[in-house]
């Protein structure tokens, strides 16, 4: 680590954003106070997301069209790995995550005891989580654990940390939300050690509106099954 | 009977079209030709489909052809899904590379 206030430049924070003009400036400004290298992936936003970041110390990568959360994550990982990142954190742009949790993930990652750290809302706290979302996440958890023989409580949390080895291993081809399970499979196949720590996720009216619909779970399931058949 | 003639003309035209179609792999061309030739045979001799259907435990020839077309359509959809996925992956890689090449540093620090 560099100083107590900011983390050294080998730590990259990836923030994926799609039409987040309402909140992204505040989210990134909070991150800027503690992290040196913030990479924002503007996933083909049609609003002023990119303009909102003007003047902030961030590196902006723009997809020319909207590709999806998985594609944006892989773009961020590829950029970070090829630009000297040793530790990579992923942070949602909609204001659900807390910077303190990201720092805790980084600390655990830098201890060298694991390759990947997932934030878990089920080990920690969820504020104002909609019931349908909770049920959906629990079903996804059961499905992921069965499919990949894991014991994770929240593999679909956007707050994660990777060391360089784990990030370089990932090659996500699922552009949509099914990327989370694909990532888990690749990490398992690469024998990466995964740990979870409790985090707080706060659902605001904004994040609830922005979140994926419950029906989208069916699409994710189809993507996953087809993806597995295609291997 | 009129419809049968229409079907025969349609299938024969399609057969010839595929036969002379350039830039097709031999395997793909052979597959389509066999399929169309099969349809032609069934159009010329409808009772044959019933005989084959009976062999597979299906009563009516038309049912057999119905199942066969479903399987064929499923196969075609699957092949196109594979192509779509391949194109999606290529397109994503392209968009990713463009995004990385055009990374912009909004603050005072250089991205490298």
Q: Please check whether residue A215 touches B, CB under 8 A.
A: no
* Chain-chain contact of B95 with A58 (C-beta, under 8 angstroms): no
pLDDT 10s digits, B4-45: 888 889 989 988 888 887 777 788 888 888 988 988 998 888
In this prediction the pTM is 0.82
Q: Please check whether residue A96 touches B, CB under 8 A.
A: no
- Given a cut of 70, whether residue A4 has pLDDT beyond it is no
Q: Which among B88, B95, B106 is the nearest to A63, CB-wise?
A: B95
Give B-chain residues touching A45 at CB under 8 angstroms. Answer: none
* Chain-chain contact of A226 with B100 (C-beta, under 8 angstroms): no
Q: Please check whether residue A75 touches B, CB under 8 A.
A: yes
Distance of CA A201 to the CA centre of its chain: 13
Average pLDDT, chain A: 88
* Chain-chain contact of A71 with B107 (C-beta, under 8 angstroms): no
Question: What pLDDT was estimated at residue A171?
Answer: 96
pLDDT 10s digits, B72-89: 899 999 999 999 999 999
- Which carries the bigger pLDDT value, residue A184 or residue B111? A184
How far apart CA B41 and CA B33 sit, in angstroms, is 12
Question: What pLDDT was estimated at residue B46?
Answer: 85
How far apart CA A125 and CA A97 sit, in angstroms, is 11
Find all residues with CB under 8 Å of A202, minimum gap 6, and list them: A95, A96, A98, A126, A127, A128
Question: What pLDDT was estimated at residue B110?
Answer: 47
ipTM over 0.90: no
Least confident of A74-88, A120-134, A161-175, B79-93: A120-134
pLDDT 10s digits, A132-186: 878 888 887 888 788 888 888 888 889 999 999 999 999 999 998 888 888 999 9
* Chain-chain contact of A67 with B82 (C-beta, under 8 angstroms): no
Q: Which among A57, A64, A83 is the nearest to B107, CB-wise?
A: A57
């Amino acid at each position: 680590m560099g100083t107590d206030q900011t983390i050294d430049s080998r730590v990259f924070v990836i923030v994926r954003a799609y039409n987040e003009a309402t909140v992204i400036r505040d989210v990134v400004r909070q991150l800027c106070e503690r992290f040196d290298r913030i990479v924002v992936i503007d996933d083909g936003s049609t609003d002023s997301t990119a303009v909102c970041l003007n003047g902030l110390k961030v590196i902006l990568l723009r997809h020319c069209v909207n590709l999806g959360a998985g594609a944006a994550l892989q773009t961020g990982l590829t950029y970070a790995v090829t630009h000297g990142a040793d530790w990579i954190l992923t942070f949602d742009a909609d204001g659900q995550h807390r910077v303190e949790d990201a720092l805790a993930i980084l600390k655990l990652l830098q201890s060298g005891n694991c390759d990947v750290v997932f934030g878990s809302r089920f080990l920690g706290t969820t504020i104002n989580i909609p019931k349908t979302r909770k049920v959906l996440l629990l079903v996804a958890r059961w499905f992921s654990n069965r499919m990949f023989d894991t014991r994770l409580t929240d593999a679909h949390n956007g707050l994660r940390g990777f060391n360089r080895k784990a990030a370089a291993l990932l090659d996500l081809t699922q552009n949509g939300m099914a990327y989370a399970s694909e990532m888990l499979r690749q990490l398992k196949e690469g024998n990466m050690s995964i740990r979870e720590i409790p985090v707080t996720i706060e659902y605001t009216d904004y994040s609830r509106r922005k979140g994926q619909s419950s029906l989208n779970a069916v699409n994710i399931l189809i993507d996953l099954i087809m993806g597995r058949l295609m291997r | 009977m009129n419809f049968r003639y229409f079907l025969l003309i349609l299938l024969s035209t399609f057969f010839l079209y595929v036969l002379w179609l350039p830039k097709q792999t031999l395997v793909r061309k052979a597959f389509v030709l066999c399929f169309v030739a099969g349809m032609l045979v069934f159009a010329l001799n409808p009772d044959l489909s019933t005989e084959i259907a009976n062999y597979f435990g299906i009563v009516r020839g038309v049912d057999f052809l119905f199942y066969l077309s479903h399987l064929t359509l499923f196969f075609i959809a699957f092949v196109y899904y594979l192509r779509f996925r391949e194109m999606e992956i290529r397109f994503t890689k392209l968009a990713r590379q463009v995004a990385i090449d055009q990374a912009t540093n909004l603050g005072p620090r250089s991205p490298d």
